[in-house]
Amino acid sequence: MKVTGAQAIIKCLKEQGVEVIFGFPGGAVIDLYDELEKSDITHVLVRHEQAAVHAADAYGRVKGDVGVALVTSGPGATNTVTGIASAYMDSIPLVVFTGQVPTALIGNDAFQEVDIVGITRPCTKHNYLVKDANELVSIIREAFYIARTGRPGPVLIDLPKDVVNSKINFEEPTPIKMQTYRPTYEPHPGQIAKACKEILKAKKPVVYAGGGVIASNSNEDLTELATKLNMPVTMTLMGLGGFPGTHKLSMGMLGMHGTYYANMAVSQCDLLIAIGARFDDRVTGKIAAFAPYAKIIHVDIDPTSISKNVKVDIPIVADCKHALIAMNRWFDVQEDFKEKEQEEKTSPWIDEINDWKRKHPLGYVEEGDIIKPQYVVQKLHELTNGDAIISTEVGQNQMWAAQFYHFNLPRHFLTSGGLGVMGYGFPAAIGAQMAAPGRTIIDIAGDGSLQMNIQELATARQYKCPVKVAILNNNFLGMVRQWQELFYDKRYAATGLEVAPDFVKVAQAYGAVGLRATKVSEVVPVIKEALATDNTVFMDFVIAREEGVYPMVPAGKATTEMLLV
Amino acid sequence: MKHTISVLLQNKPGVLSRVTGLFSGRGFNIESLCVAETLDPGVSCLTLVTRGPDPIIEQITKQLHKLIDVIKVVDISESDYVEREMVLIRVKAEANTRAEVLRVIDIFRGKVVDVSPKSYAVEITGPRSKIKAVIDILKPIGIQEIVRTGTIAMARAKKF
C-alpha cells in the first residue's frame, strides 16, 4: 500500500498502541502534525519541549509502556536533550521524534538545522537519522522494540522533512529480529543455584532493590523472595515502591539520604543481594566502606552495570523478574528448606535492625507554628491513603518525598533519579495524569525547581489535568543551601531566591487554583481543599526556611558516617 | 596492560563516532584505531589498542558490546594472536647514505616505494616492536616524513 511518510508514522504509532503523545510543532514537522490531526491519537501541546519529554517519560512509567514525544528540528530538538538524558539515566522507555531539514540541506547550516543524532548519541540507547524513506517503517518498529526491551531507554528518530513527505510502501509488521541486539532475559541456572545457596548460608542478608524491579514488574516476586527468606529490603530512589514501604521487612531508602537503619544494615550485612540496581555513588558513598563484610550477588539485565563500581561475587545477567522467579522456584523445590527455620535463622538480624529503627527513626523537630516540610509530606500520605501517584522535582523536596511518603506500589513514584533534573516533577505530573485520568497526582515541589517548568500550568489547564502541586516553599535553592550551611560556613552563594512569584496568583492567572498555608494548622485544610478541587492546584506551603534533609552522608564519606537530625 | 580489541560492527554512518564517543565520554583511552570493511561490505572490522587495569578493560568490552550496531567484541590479546602495523617513511638518502638506507630496509624486509635524488620512501610492516626498531635506526640518518597505520590483529587458529 502506498502512503506518505507522515501517514506511515501514524500507522506505526497506532500499531505500537500509542494513544497519547506529547509535543510542540514547528516547520520541519508541520506535515506530520497535519496527519496527526486527522488521527485519533491525543496530542498534548506542552509549552516547552523539555516538558514534552518529561511528560512522556512519566506517562510511560505510569502505563508501563513506551512514552512518545514529537518536536520540530533545531531548537525543538535541542530542548529535548535534558529530558532524554534523564530518561537514559533512569532506564525509561521513550521514543522521541524530531523534525529535520530536508536531506538535501543536511550539513548546510540550514535554518533550524542541528545534528541532533550527534548531540544525543551519548544519552540515548540508540538513535536514527532516517535518510532513506524506505527504511522509515522498519526504523520506527525497531526503535520501539529497542526502547522497551532489555534495559529500557530512550530512542530518538530524526525525520527529514522530505522523508515525511515522500510516498512509500507500507508493509505489515513481521517479528523483529536484530542480529546485533539480543538482551539476556533468562538467568543462568548455575548462577541462580549458587546465589540461592549463598542466601541459605547468610545470617545477615540484605536485599538492595533498584529501578530494575519496577521496570520488570517484579515487585510481587521480590516480596515473595524477601518474605520467604525473612530478609530485610532496602530500596534505591528509583526502586521505591518495588517493595511495600510499610512492610515490616522494609528499611526504606539507603544511601546519602537513606535511613539510619538501611545504611547500618548494609554496613554490617554478610550478604548483599542487589536486584536491578547499579551501585550509584549516591548509594555507596565511599566505595571501600560499602558493605565491607558482604558477599555480593548482583542481578541486572545490563552486563555493564555488573562489577562497574563494586566487585561482584555472583553476577546474574538476567531480567529481574525471570531471575526472581527462578530463585523463588529454587527454594520451593528444596526439600530441606523450611521457611520457619529460615525465619529463626535471620530473626536475630531482624531484631538488630529493629533496634536501629527504634534508636534512629526518620524524624524531624517540630517548631511550634512553623510548617515543617516533612509534616506536609506525612499529611499528604495520610490524606491520600498512601495511594496517590507522586512526582517530585529535585533536591530537598525529592528527598523528603522519598523518605516520608511510604510507597507500597510500583509506578507510584516519579522522579528524575540519575540525572537529577529540576523541573521534572510538574510536567511529569501532567504526563501521569494523562496516563491515569481518574487518579490523584501530586507533584511534591520546591519553589526553585517548580520555576524551571512553571509554564506547564497552561498545559495542565488546557488538558484539564487536575494535578496538585505541593510547593515546599523555603525561598531557597534548599539542597545547595544545606551543603553551604554544612560545608561552606553558611556562605549562601546564589541560593537565596530574592525575587519569587506569588504562587497563588500565578495559579490564578492561568485559571488554576492557588492555596497557601503559612502555619501548621493550615496544612491539613489546604490539602483537603486541594484534593477536593477538580482543577489544577498550587499549594504554597511556606516552610521552615533552613530545614535540612537528614540523615545525610557527606559526599565521599562512608555511609555509616551519617549526620542525623 | 595493553589490550588489542577486535570489534565487528555494522557498516553504517555514525557507527565509528558511537565507538569513539564511548571512549571519550567514559574516559577510556585509545592508543590506535584501524577500521575497514570485511568480506561482507555491510560489516566493518575495527581493531583498537587500549591500556588499562582489568576492570576497565572489562567495562570497555561490555560497553562496546552494548552498542546496538556492534556485532561482536573480542579481546584478542587474551590468547595467541598476530598483529601488524604498516609505516611509510621518507628518509634522507644522499650519496653517502643511499646504500646504507637500502641495507637497513633490506634487513627489515621493507620496500622502497618512492625514489627521489635526495630521499627514499619506504614501506615496512610488522608488529609494533619492529616498527619501533626501524624508526630508531633510521632516525639518525634523517626521517623527513612518517605515516603509520594503527595496529591490525588476528587471533591465531587453534593448532589442534
Which of B25, B58, B62 is opposite residue A122, by nearest beta carbon? B25
* Chain A touched by B133 (CB under 8 Å): no
Both B56 and B112 in a single domain?
no
Widest Cα–Cα separation across chain B: 57
Residue A242 CA to residue A214 CA, distance in Å, equals: 6
**Structural domain for A470, as ranges:** 373-542
* Chain A touched by B27 (CB under 8 Å): no
Both A221 and A336 in a single domain?
yes
Q: Which of A479, A539, A552, A562 is catalytic?
A: A479
Residue A552 located in a structural domain: no
Both B15 and B30 in a single domain?
yes
* Chain A touched by B63 (CB under 8 Å): yes
Both B34 and B71 in a single domain?
yes
Selected for mutation to probe chain B from A157, A179, A304 (highest B CB count within 10 Å) is A304
| Rounded mean pLDDT, B129-137 | 96
Per-block mean pLDDT, blocks of 10 residues, chain A (565 long):
96 98 98 98 98 98 98 98 98 98 97 98 98 97 98 98 97 90 97 98 98 98 98 98 98 98 98 98 95 98 96 98 98 93 96 98 97 98 97 98 97 98 98 98 98 98 98 98 98 96 98 98 98 98 98 96 94
CATH no. for residue A493? Answer: 3.40.50.970
CB < 8 Å to B71, chain A = 179-180
- Model confidence over B23-41: pLDDT tens digits? 999 999 999 999 999 999 9
- Model confidence over A81-95: pLDDT tens digits? 999 999 999 999 999
A/B interface, count of CB pairs below 8 Å: 37
Instruction: Report helix, strand or coil for A374.
Output: helix
Q: Which of A63, A161, A295, A379 is catalytic?
A: A161
pLDDT of residue A541: 98
The helix or strand, by DSSP H or E, that contains position A282, with its residue range, turns out to be helix A281-284
Catalytic residue check, A113: no
Residue A112 located in a structural domain: yes
Residue A553 located in a structural domain: no
pLDDT of residue B160: 72
Both B65 and B11 in a single domain?
yes
pLDDT of residue A536: 98
Both A47 and A110 in a single domain?
yes
Q: From residue A166, how far is each of A16, A31, A34, A157, A314 by CA, in Å? A: 22, 11, 15, 17, 52
- Count other Cβ atoms within 10 Å, centred on residue A450: 26
Which of A118, A179, A307 is opposite residue B71, by nearest beta carbon? A179
Which residue of chain A comes nearest to B8, CA vs CA?
A: A180
CA distance A306 to chain B (A): 9
**In angstroms, what is the C-alpha Rg of chain A?**
24
Which ipTM value was assigned to this complex? Answer: 0.92
Contact at CB, A303 and B21, closer than 8 angstroms: no
Both B95 and B116 in a single domain?
yes
CB < 8 Å to A122, chain B = 21-22, 25
* Chain A touched by B20 (CB under 8 Å): no
| Closest listed residue to residue A9, CA positions, set A26, A23, A27, A29 | A29
CATH no. for residue B93? Answer: 3.30.70.1150
pLDDT of residue A45: 98
Residue B160 located in a structural domain: no
Contact at CB, A146 and B68, closer than 8 angstroms: yes
Selected for mutation to probe chain B from A121, A127, A146 (highest B CB count within 10 Å) is A121
Both B62 and B97 in a single domain?
no
Q: Is 80 exceeded by the pLDDT of residue B3? A: yes
Both B64 and B94 in a single domain?
no
Please state the domain count of chain B: 2
The helix or strand, by DSSP H or E, that contains position B148, with its residue range, turns out to be strand B143-148
pLDDT of residue A565: 87
Both B6 and B71 in a single domain?
yes
Contact at CB, A303 and B66, closer than 8 angstroms: yes
Both B12 and B63 in a single domain?
yes
Q: Is 80 exceeded by the pLDDT of residue B159? A: no
- Model confidence over B46-82: pLDDT tens digits? 999 999 999 999 999 999 999 999 999 999 999 999 9
Instruction: Report helix, strand or coil for A297.
Output: strand
Last residue of a domain, one of A359, A388, A416: A359
| Closest listed residue to residue A42, CA positions, set A437, A559, A335, A484 | A437
Residue B47 located in a structural domain: yes
Contact between B9 and B69 (Cβ < 8 Å): yes
Residue A60 located in a structural domain: yes
Catalytic residue check, A479: yes
Catalytic residue check, A468: no
CATH no. for residue A239? Answer: 3.40.50.1220
Both B68 and B107 in a single domain?
no
CATH no. for residue B20? Answer: 3.30.70.260
Give me the residues of B, 101-130, that contact A with CB < 8 A: none
Q: From residue A228, how far is each of A220, A318, A408, A493 by CA, in Å? A: 12, 21, 18, 51
**Structural domain for B20, as ranges:** 2-78
Catalytic residue check, A161: yes
Q: Mean pLDDT over all residues of chain B?
A: 95
Which residue of chain B comes nearest to A309, CA vs CA?
A: B55
Both B25 and B64 in a single domain?
yes
Cell of residue A153, nine digits: 531507554
- Count other Cβ atoms within 10 Å, centred on residue A534: 8
Residue B108 located in a structural domain: yes
Q: Which of A1, A14, A38, A111 is catalytic?
A: A111
Both B71 and B111 in a single domain?
no
pLDDT of residue A179: 85
Both A212 and A75 in a single domain?
no
Please state the domain count of chain A: 3
Residue A177 located in a structural domain: no
Last residue of a domain, one of A169, A200, A228: A169
Residue A541 CA to residue B32 CA, distance in Å, equals: 58
Last residue of a domain, one of B78, B107, B137: B78
Residue A184 located in a structural domain: no
